[in-house]
Amino acid sequence: MPSIEPRPGVRDCAMKTPLKKRLWASRHFYVFIAPFFALFAVFGLYPLLFSFYLGFLQWDGLSPKQWVGLSNFENLLHDEILFASLRNTVTIGLMYIPPMFIGAFVFALLLDTAWLRFRGLFRAVFFLPVVTPMVVVAIVFGLLYGQEAGLLNYVVEKLGWERIPWVVSESWSKPSVAGLLVWRWTGYNMVLMLAGLQGISPGYYEAARIDGANAWQRLWYITLPLMRPTFVFCTIMSLIGTVYMFDEVFVLTQGGPGTSSTNFGLYLFNTSFTDFKFGYASAMAYVVALFVFLASLLVLRLRKREEGTDQ
Amino acid sequence: MNVRRTALRVFTHAALALVALAFLFPFYWLLISAFKSKSEIFTLPPQWWPSPWRLDNFEQLFATIPIVRCFANSLIAATGHCALALFLCSLAGYAFAKFPRAPGHGKLFAFVLATMMLPTAITLIPVFHVLCKLHAVNTYWAMIVPGAANAFGIFWMRQYAAENVPDELLDAARIDGCGEFALYRRIALPVMRPALAALGILLFIGNWNNLMWAFIVLRTQDMYTLPLIIYLLNGENRTPFELIMAASLFATVPLVAAFILFQRHFIRGITAGALKG
């Protein structure tokens, strides 16, 4: 619209003032963000780029770096332990996420009911594992899981069953890790779900009650659909957490026996800081991060599409 | 009046209480084991209550392991990390919230947000490499500085500052001749206190409990943090479980006590980190 010519003098100042002046006017902004960006450049940005570059090298941190092109990435395809660790990650996830989710949701529903007493106390107890050092949790669970003198096997024997080789057998190491994870993370997810529940407008429930919906129907037709974003969010968080978790397996099972409980996080650590294959580890970290990112995106997409068909 | 409903409610409370006891059980086990001798820890049937409550483990812990030093190391690392991150993130977050017209503002912020998507697993090796170059391995700096320029921290601080620090107040103070840094310190910081507390708790707990990074960058016993010394005791031959339990209690009690005192702040802080996704 060329006819609307701004009167001289009242044009947008930002348009007229030269960049130099605008920069000078905002100098405090740059001064305030400078310390952050200085550290960020050294400990955030540079590592990201350097790590990408390392993916094409062979390097143990001491001897000279050697350019190997794409061979690190090719080797990934034949890495049995990598695939075992990814399978373990998925298996452990499938073992602990469903019970944790159901537990967290039931506790959240209960803590959200008006008649429940000692709500603060219950919430605190369920949340307590989250503030406990993981190394301590893993050591205490290691004692409880003990083959000969562990408390769990004592109970198992009292019940007339045979002792279970919790952390010393390939078939039980994953469920044992999963048990620890349920204990550790249920309270955390409970709090997130509680926040989700409290975000649902009471008006929906009122309306449903007036229409004669009973408690189950209200749960099924109102709570569950409206909680879906929270569920998706918790799922993505748990998936990412399982891929990169470390302390849990490092202390409880050292990833063993064999590689039966080695998840990706532990394998990456071992490749980096036990075998000192810096180049290979960087390639691996980038590729898996990319897949994790794509998987999270996919979960989000699926939810969006579902929402689209609902309406 | 309604017997069935009352029964259901009593049952629910009882069931929840049982589950709560199960959740507390590992803490109970940690507590009693710390006061048992090594053979008592492993006796069957288990000793449900130490008799007597032995203090030997703690005496021996103080005598043979620099546990107080490790405690101090953990405290210095976590406090330092927290203080540095809170300063950087609140200053930059405030700037992003209150100077929206600065050239490049939007791009810089989008850039910070984008890096939030990348997992720290990618940067472990290069950060370690940088610390080697700076001769910072096995120093407090190695535990304090990496991760202090926290993209999530900026995001969190900006959100809070944008909503809660009133522009009118800043402008009024500016007219009265207040300097820009004084505006941040005297006006913005006090208003941002709840957000600082939440982020601070999240960072403190993460640093206090961090085993992997301590394992990578700390080399001598006088620099070990509590999780690292506990882990290394666990790896020794003839594992001294009674000492490990005592040390574990030592590492767990401060956070648990703080959690009980400031429950709401803790839950808010730790779940704030969930926004990261």
Option in A48, A141, A143 nearest B122 (CB): A48
What lies within 8 Å, CB to CB, of A37 at 6+ separation is B92, B108, B149
Calculate how close chain A gets to B199, using CA atoms only, in Å.
14
Confidence at residue B269, expressed as pLDDT on a 0 to 100 scale: 77
Which CATH number fits the domain A75-310, given the four candidates 3.10.20.340, 1.10.3720.10, 1.10.10.60, 3.30.160.270?
1.10.3720.10
Q: Which residues of A touch B209 (CB under 8 A)?
A: 132-135
Cα gap B235→B232, rounded to integer Å: 5
- Locate the domains of chain B by residue range: 3-51, 60-276
Contact (CB<8Å) B149/A127: no
- Locate the domains of chain A by residue range: 1-42, 75-310
pLDDT digits (tens, 9 = 90+) for A255-300: 878 889 999 999 999 999 998 999 999 999 999 999 998 988 888 8
Q: Which residues of B touch A289 (CB under 8 A)?
A: 118-119, 121-122
Burial of residue A287, with CB atoms counted within 10 A of its CB: 0-12 exposed, 13-18 middle, 19 or more buried: middle
Q: Which residues of B touch A250 (CB under 8 A)?
A: 211-212
Contact (CB<8Å) B125/A131: no
CB B146 within 8 A of CB B88: no
pLDDT band at A2 (very low <50, low <70, confident <90, very high): very low
At the top level of CATH, the class of B60-276 is mainly alpha
3-class secondary structure, A262: coil
Confidence at residue B1, expressed as pLDDT on a 0 to 100 scale: 57
Cα gap B14→B253, rounded to integer Å: 28
Of B83, B92, B105, B205, give the one whose Cα is nearest residue B156: B92
pLDDT digits (tens, 9 = 90+) for B135-194: 999 999 999 999 888 888 998 899 889 888 888 888 888 898 888 898 899 889 999 998
Of B62, B5, B23, give the one whose Cα is nearest residue A122: B23
- On the question of a cis peptide bond just before residue A2, with omega within 30 degrees of 0, the verdict is no
Cα gap A250→A6, rounded to integer Å: 68
Contact (CB<8Å) A244/B267: no
CB A240 within 8 A of CB B205: no
Give the chain A residue nearest B101 (alpha carbons).
Answer: A26
Mutate to test the interface with B, among A37, A46, A50, A139 (most CBs of B within 10 A): A139
Who wins on pLDDT, A21 or A85?
Answer: A85
Q: Which residues of A touch B147 (CB under 8 A)?
A: 43
Confidence at residue B86, expressed as pLDDT on a 0 to 100 scale: 95
Calculate how close chain B gets to A134, using CA atoms only, in Å.
7
User: Does A5 score more than 90 pLDDT?
Assistant: no
Calculate how close chain A gets to B55, using CA atoms only, in Å.
19
Contact (CB<8Å) B115/A44: yes
Confidence at residue B273, expressed as pLDDT on a 0 to 100 scale: 63
Give the chain A residue nearest B234 (alpha carbons).
Answer: A139
Q: What is the mean pLDDT of chain A?
A: 87
Confidence at residue A311, expressed as pLDDT on a 0 to 100 scale: 37
3-class secondary structure, A89: helix
Calculate how close chain A gets to B119, using CA atoms only, in Å.
7
3-class secondary structure, B224: coil
**Which residue type is seen at A161?**
W
